Amino acid sequence: QVQRWLKSLPVVGCTPRYQKPRTTFEQDKRDLYAAAELLYETEWRQYSFTMALPWMIAMGSIYGAVVYASELWHLALAGMGLGLAWQQAALVGHDLGHSSVWPRQTSEYLGLLWGNLLFGISASWWKLSHNLHHAVTNEYDRDPDISLFPFVALAKESFLATKYQNFPPAMKKFVKAAVSLQNVTFVPLLMFFARFYMAFQTYYLCFTGLHKKV
């Protein structure tokens, strides 16, 4: 319908498909545009390795933990390898969540497989949270990726957030005390509680029906 409507409009002028650049700057600009357009195309040789890498690290870590479990340092090394595999999987999951690898529907199916199976969190929860983060990036009152109360405040403006203002006085005192120690507690919280928090959010999303909004 749009094409038929456009054809019914009067022609007011034509732009040639190609005009020879008049200056070196114009030619360089065209070359830059051409190179930039390729950035939106998947480099399959590189990305095939990127997608295979987490699986290889994970299988190697599991094999090491099962076969060489006699020494504690073997298990520690296998655990670090598994953590590295999860981190690499998260990078691929980020690209799939943005539908930047394959067309949207294919990326969504692979994101469910990748996030839910390999990484262990809901791809739907990630998309719901991360899309909101991109819509209101770094807005202290609405961006879920920087709303880390009661233990972490990323800026002074965080204390202006509605979430903090609605806390009772005792909770506000606790938040201020916890935030004053965030230089010590941030890494332990990230290491020991962040993953459990993401798992909790996964179940919360499923049981509350919020996944239907994704």
- Nearest CA to 148 out of 105, 112, 193 is that of 193
Is residue 20 domain-resident?
no
Is residue 209 domain-resident?
yes
pLDDT at residue number 49: 86
Same domain, 110 and 142: no
Q: Give the DSSP per-residue string, 84-106.
A: HHHHHHHHHHHHHHTT-SS-HHH
Is residue 159 domain-resident?
yes
Longest dimension (CA), the chain: 81
pLDDT at residue number 15: 61
Q: How many domains does the chain have?
A: 2
Per-residue pLDDT of the chain (214 residues; tens, 9 = 90+): 556 666 776 666 666 566 677 788 888 887 887 777 776 677 777 778 888 888 899 899 888 888 887 788 888 888 899 888 888 888 888 887 777 777 666 666 776 677 677 667 777 788 888 888 888 888 877 787 777 778 888 878 788 777 788 888 888 889 889 888 888 888 888 777 877 888 888 888 878 766 555 5
Is residue 14 domain-resident?
no
pLDDT at residue number 135: 82
pLDDT at residue number 111: 66
Neighbours of 46 (CB within 10 A): 9
Question: Of 90, 119, 148, which residue sits at a domain end?
Answer: 119
Is residue 16 domain-resident?
no
Is residue 9 domain-resident?
no
pLDDT at residue number 210: 62
Is residue 168 domain-resident?
yes
| Distance separating alpha carbons of residues 117 and 110, to the nearest angstrom | 10
Q: Which domain holds residue 144?
A: 121-214
Question: Of 119, 151, 178, which residue sits at a domain end?
Answer: 119
CB-based contact 126:137 (threshold 8 Å): no
**Alpha-carbon radius of gyration of the chain:** 24
CB-based contact 189:183 (threshold 8 Å): no
Q: Could you tell me the two tokens for 117?
A: 């199976």
Same domain, 93 and 127: no
